[in-house]
Structure 1
Amino acid sequence: MRFTLIAIVAGLGGLLFGYDTGVISGALLFIRHVFHLGATMQGVVVAIALAAAAVGAAFAGTLSDRFGRRPVLLVTALIFVAGALLSAAAWSVAALLAGRVMVGAGIGVASMLTPLYLSEIAPPAKRGAIVTINQFYITLGIVLSYGVGFLLSHSPEGWRWMLGVGCIPGIILFIGMLTLPESPRWLAGKGRDDEARRALLYLRDGGNIDDEMHDLHQDLATTGKRTPWSALFTSRARKPLIIGVGLAIFQQITGINTVIYFAPTIFEKAGLPSASISILATAGVGAVNVIMTLVAMRLLDIVGRRKLLLFGLAGMLVTLLILSAAFMIGLHGGLALVTVLSVAAYVAFFAIGLGPVFWLLIAEIFPLAVRGRGMSLATIANWSFNMLVSITFLDLVKGLGRGPTFLIYAAMTLATIVFTWFLVPETKGRSLEQIEAALEGDAKLAT
Structure 2
Amino acid sequence: MVEDSKISFLSKLSFFSSIGGLLFGYDTGVVSGALLLVTQEFNLSTIEQELIVTSTIAFAALFSLAAGLLNARLGRRLTIIISSFLFATGSVFMAASSGFTSLLIGRAIIGTGLGISSMSIPLYLSECAPPEIRGKIVTVNNLSITGGQLLAALIDGAFSKVPDGWRWMLGLAVVPAVIQFFGFIFLMPESPRYMIEHETYYEAKEVLIKIRSEEDVDEELDEMQREVELNKNANWRDLFKTRNGRHATFIGCCLQLFQQLVGINTVMYYSATIIYMSGMVTDPSSAIWLAALTASVNFGATLIGLFSIERIGRRLLALVSVAGSAACLLMLSGGFYWNDSLFCPKTYASWMPLLGMILYLFFFASGMGPVPWAVNSEIYPHSCREAGIALSTTVNWLSNCIISLTFLSLLEAVGTAGGFLVYFIFGLLAFLIIFLFLPETKGVALEDIAEVLEQGWIVPCKSSCNQDEHDLDVLVDDTDD
**TM-score normalised by the chain length of structure 1:** 0.97
Q: Does structure 1 residue 258 correspond to structure 2 residue 266? A: yes
Match for 2:328 among 313, 319, 326?
319
The partner residue of 2:314 within 279, 297, 305 is: 305
In the aligned structure 2, how far is the partner of 1:190 from the partner of 1:415? 43
Residue 207 of structure 1 deviates from its aligned partner by: 6.2
Contact 1:201 1:207 in 2 (8 A): no
Contact 2:81 2:180 in 1 (8 A): yes
**What code does the residue aligned with 2:129 have?**
A
| Match 1:398 to one of 412, 421, 428 | 412
2:300 matched residue in structure 1: 291
Q: Equivalents in 2 of 1:433, 1:254: separation in Å?
A: 32
Task: State how far apart, in whole Å, the 2-side matches of 1:292 and 1:219 are.
Answer: 37
Indicate the SS of the match to 1:34.
helix
- CA deviations on 1:357-394 (whole Å, 9 max, x unpaired) are 00000001011111111100111111011011001000
Paired with 2:229 and 2:436, the residues of 1 have a C-alpha distance of 32
Give the alignment partner of residue 151 of structure 2, picking from 128, 144, 154: 144
Q: Distance in 1 between matches of 2:209 and 2:35?
A: 47
SS at match of 1:415: helix
Using the TM superposition, name which of 82-91 and 170-179 deviates more. Answer: 170-179
Residue 19 of structure 2 is aligned to residue 12 of structure 1: yes
User: Would the aligned equivalents of 2:23 and 2:177 in 1 still touch at CA under 8 Å?
Assistant: yes
In the alignment, does 2:253 pair up with 1:245? yes
Matching of residue 226 in structure 1 with residue 240 in structure 2: no
Of the three residues 438, 453, 457, the one matched with 1:439 is 453
The farther-off stretch of 138-147 and 110-119 is 110-119
Aligned residue in 2 for 1:60: 67
1:46 aligns with 2:53: yes
Aligned 8 A contact 2:439 2:453 in 1: no
1:298, 1:151 → 2: CA distance? 31
Alignment root-mean-square deviation, CA: 1.5
Structure 2 match to 1:122: 129
Contact 1:49/1:104 (<8 A) preserved: yes
* Bigger mean CA deviation after superposition, 269-278 or 137-146: 269-278
Aligned with 2:380 (options 351, 360, 366): 366
**1:219 to 1:441, Cα distance in 2 relative to 1, 3 A:** farther
2:257 match: secondary structure: helix
- The one-letter amino acid of 2:313's match is G
Bigger mean CA offset, 108-117 vs 335-344: 335-344
Instruction: Name the SS for the 1:182 alignment partner.
Output: coil
Pick the aligned partner of 1:353 from 367, 370, 391: 367
Cα deviation digits, residues 14-61 of structure 1 (max 9, x gap)? 111000010011000011122211111100110011010011101111
TM-score of the pair, normalised by structure 2: 0.90
Which of 363, 380, 391 is the aligned partner of 1:377? 391
The question of whether the paired residues in 2 share the 8 Å contact of 1:10 and 1:176 is answered with no
Deviation (angstroms), 1:205: 7.4
- 1:62 and 1:108 map into 2 onto residues whose CA distance is 13
Letter of the structure 2 residue corresponding to residue 4 of structure 1: S
Unpaired runs of 5+ in structure 1?
A: none
Q: 84, 87, 90: which is aligned to 1:83? A: 90
Instruction: Kindly state the Cα deviation for residue 7 of structure 1 after the two structures are TM-superposed.
Output: 1.6
Structure 1 residues 252 and 105: CA distance shift in structure 2, 3 A: same
Give the whole-Å Cα distance in 2 for the aligned partners of 1:193 and 1:438: 29
Q: Distance in 2 between matches of 1:309 and 1:257?
A: 18
Deviating more after overlay: 357-366 vs 323-332 = 323-332
2: CA distance between counterparts of 1:439 and 1:215? 19
- The answer (yes or no) to whether the contact 2:193–2:224 under 8 Å persists in 1 is yes
Q: Structure 2: how far apart are the matches of 1:266 and 1:61? A: 36
Q: Aligned equivalents of 1:269 and 1:442: distance in 2?
A: 47
Which residue does the alignment assign to 2:218? 210
Q: Are 1:185 and 2:193 matched, yes or no? A: yes
- How far apart, in 2, do the equivalents of 1:43 and 1:335 lie? 27
Matched residues, number: 446
Q: Measure, in 2, the Cα distance between the counterparts of 1:383 and 1:368.
A: 23
Instruction: Please name the residue that 2:469 is paired with.
Output: none
